[in-house]
Amino acid sequence: MKALYDICAPAKLNLFLHITGRRGDGYHLLQSVFMLIDWCDTLHFDLRADGQISREDLTTKLPDDDLVVRAARALQVASSSPLGVHIGIEKHIPAQAGMGGGSSDAASTLLALNRLWRLNYSLEKLSQIGLQLGADVPFFLGGRNAWVEGIGEKMSPVAVPSGRFLVVKPTEGLETRLIFSDPALKRDSETAIISGFAANAFSFGRNDLQSVAQRLCPGVTQALEWLASRGLSGRMTGSGSAVFAQVLQDIDLIGAPGEFQVRLCSSLDVHPLLGWAVSDGLSVSSI
């Protein structure tokens, strides 16, 4: 059966990530810029009339109750839709990399099913559902590069120059909770302003999680050293373990350590599904 929708779910890079404090409930206050890149998963959606939600892993084996299935179920419950879906997933974005692959898949699922099931939900309503799945899901729903603050819930669009980036994912992944619970984590960075970032977007700030991540995952250091051997200044994205560096000219990709994943990526100005849900009450069928 031919999929009714074949769509992509792009990854993101954190161009910087500062921890500025910690709330009384233990959540960390942060500042970051999330930038979309063209390293993507591909999802295929076929309508089911029987109300069942099924999934087929076309590349990597995923957990039974992954974010894609959870997103579909959450939207089905919220809408009381009698329809179902079969979802095929071509997984390419590495897991535990700090690139938001799972959250991006969940966001693309919500956008696709909003159309497939003819729900006409607004972007705001989808974001409320998405936030229950993960803090990064609303970013991918919003569809634009964003300045992020608070505990990750405050986002506003930000202009990011176009660029190419060499992204390196070590064999190992990293668990976010291990980094944020580490007593050595820097939690007192000064508050940054957008104009400071805009003056030098690709070299602004740092990733405050990186030093802890390097201690927990030697592959992060190996990846950074490999980038440095090619004259590139790298840093980790998100809570890792992937690292990246801006590339200004053609570069030899041969010689990466071990079984590291290495990919030359380009930034995206907007999400490929921008406009699949609207925020002004218009029907998605009118877009």
DSSP for residue 223: H
Q: Is 29 helix (H, G, I), strand (E, B) or coil?
A: strand
Place of tokens 């490929």: 272
H or E element at residue 228: helix 218-229
Q: Which positions are catalytic?
A: 12, 136
Helices (H) and strands (E) in the chain, counts: 8, 10
Provide φ and ψ at 13, rounded to 5°.
-120, 145
Give the Cα separation of 149 and 142 in Å (integer): 15
Give the Cα separation of 252 and 168 in Å (integer): 13
Quick count: other Cβ atoms within 10 Å of Cβ 228? 12
Give the Cα separation of 29 and 191 in Å (integer): 10
Provide φ and ψ at 150, rounded to 5°.
70, -135
Give the Cα separation of 189 and 178 in Å (integer): 20
Please state the length of the chain. Answer: 287
